[in-house]
Amino acid sequence: MNDSKKPNRAKGGVARAKSLTQARRSEIAKLAATIRHKSNKALIATHKGNFNKELGLDVECYVLNDDEKTAVISQRGMGRVLGLKGGGGSAVPRFASRASMAPYIGPELLKKIQNPLIFQDGSPGPKVGFSEPYHGFDSSILSSLCSAILDANSAGVKIPPDVVKQAGIILGASSKAGIKGLVYALSGYDATRQEIIENFKLFVKEEARQYEKEFPEALYLEWYRIYNLPKPARNRPWKFMHLTRSQVYRPLARSNGRLQELLVETRGELTQKRLHQFLSEVGVKALRQHLGQLLGIAQLSDDQQSYERNFQKVFGEQPSLPFDD
């Protein structure tokens, strides 16, 4: 490309932009914003709480929609919790950036403080759409910052006494996990159920790998035939995962109503420990017997319709389990 043509091209672009109507420029800007929004995974607060009722501090906290369900304290609120005076949302970054705090804050923590999480408030409550972006810190930063404040104070760094006192109270009251749990509680987010489901999914994956050698190759060959699936050179079709869940795990979960009994015993808490207990009671023997039955049904069925009809006759309706999500 001839560089001499670049200025003319730039002038042409400016001229075209000036020729656009205000409505057209607004339309282009909205389209660009939509594209940017779709190209990035927006962080949204699904739950919102406040320290005021329980701790007497008007500090907002949130739980985000990311995989970690990050517990967040608002940027302005973090400064209030620590007792930093003035500066609003900039109080914490300004304090952490002090040269005297550098040896105790460290570059990694400082980077997190200088780059707060940006999210929108999508929590239930009276609002129209999403608000302007909010800024906040992962709750774990609070503990790390309190430790840095106490270390710096012990080394003779001049820090307001109220801030040192507050840092000691916060650090003594809870660990990082404790602060996260506090934010969860104040925001009304029930982590227990989600943790149970995630543990169960992990458990199922582990058990699936453990039991995979128990699955007869003949059953897989029948599934290829019945569901008219091509046989890949490596691994197995995605369909087999769904068949294993619906035709193996679900029927086993019904075994003599034992899973239901375990749930009643634990007041409905489907914990990983209880599931291990359940499967140890059902045992590999029951798994082998079930797979033998399933293979027999498959071998006697001509097609998918007859196979699923025969499966229904033998095993009936199957319960929904957490890994169905």
Q: What integer pLDDT is reported at residue 300 of this predicted model?
A: 92
CA distance 209 to 241: 12
Q: What integer pLDDT is reported at residue 128 of this predicted model?
A: 45
Neighbours of 92 (CB within 10 A): 26
Residue 4 pLDDT > 60, yes or no? no
CA distance 198 to 268: 16
Residue 73 pLDDT > 60, yes or no? yes
CA distance 195 to 208: 20
Q: What integer pLDDT is reported at residue 108 of this predicted model?
A: 92
Q: What integer pLDDT is reported at residue 153 of this predicted model?
A: 92
β-bridge partners, 118: 135
Residue 35 pLDDT > 50, yes or no? no
Neighbours of 100 (CB within 10 A): 13
**Predicted TM-score (pTM) of this structure:** 0.50
Among 96-105, 115-124, 246-255, where is mean pLDDT lowest? Answer: 246-255
CA distance 113 to 22: 39
pLDDT band of 36, cuts 50, 70, 90: very low
Length of the chain: 325
Q: Are 215 and 292 in contact (CB under 8 A)?
A: no
Q: Which helix (H) or strand (E) holds 1?
A: none
Which tens digits make up the pLDDT trace of 220-279? 999 999 999 998 887 788 888 888 878 887 777 665 555 555 555 555 554 545 555 555
Q: What integer pLDDT is reported at residue 261 of this predicted model?
A: 59
**Rounded alpha-carbon distances, angstroms, from residue 249 to 52, 148, 180, 196, 207:** 47, 50, 34, 17, 10
Residue type, 196: I
β-bridge partners, 45: 64, 121
